[in-house]
Structure 1
């Protein structure tokens, strides 16, 4: 298990991404505008992100650069445009026994699958950033069997995000940059051993934002019912 090499400034930038759960009284545009990491063009608040497959870093992209890498093959083995769908997996329940078998020591984590290796890794937020460990293939096979939407998890750029902390039982398919926003939030606001009330309020706000996201990809995915 290792700490991620993702740069702290980039994590902070993701944490500042505008959201529906912003605190009352906040003003848009108060910070200096961000710029595209590829061409230095000024970025819109709702800009897209690219994943550097080789380095494992998330980069901000303007509209033109996003269009350039919109197709998977456009970035070759280097860049991949992160998707936009946010899919709540209703009916998905990873029970305590399976969770223990996954070897995750906390109740807030996300799972990704590497296209090149086929291996699944689990990352979880901590005061030090994101920590990673490998997932046993058999345990992951059990997870995949829980919900049919998990077969469509996009390699490298999408994650299964699981929130089991404090009685929650939420399972989402989300873009990888959402996971790093959550990591940045925890890193910035965690206090003491238990995190403190402020960070947990912000975590709950993060998941409320996922639930109310207006993007067409934000919807619930339930088990199909027979007719």
Structure 2
């Protein structure tokens, strides 16, 4: 097994790929004059699911490919990952997400100027609520991440054909997106939201507005609570 620093490198690479492709599909759907403009929520949900699968495949040779601090903490609570790796993994995941978001900005260069909708631009990077209600939004993130982390831990007790696990995880992300994601855009991953939100705040993006830091705690705290609850349920089951 690789050392924690090498595994953390895998987390950086995997989360970078995850956000580059995941935020990339949102940009394609949301930004003006994109050929994918208007493709809708189904395209975004499938795009994020495939992005997670590719993120895992491109990094699993280096480590466990959590790509998500809520998953890392859940795995540690369940005794499947050492606590000493939680902080390095979390830092690597946030940095990978930040760099992935920067590349999305570069890739869609002229489309920022063509897009006048500040909310659409922010939504390319970070999540936001369909209806702003902090308690309801928080519970959406808790529930979505609970399903994610509990399911991932349940998968560890099953048997899949060699190499198929990333595809199953991608399908799980698609299902969560289609069923539970319409309320908040389903961050279910603090790094996936925080890294790109920081990129949105820092980068000289044309036509951007504020980064909505007042909401930012929801996609950070909600997934962490949901991950802890998912791991807690898994641990007490026989």
Please give the TM-score of this superposition, normalised by the length of structure 2: 0.28
Q: Higher relative contact order by CA 8 Å / sep ≥ 6: 1 or 2? A: 2
The structure in which a higher percent of residues are strand is: 1
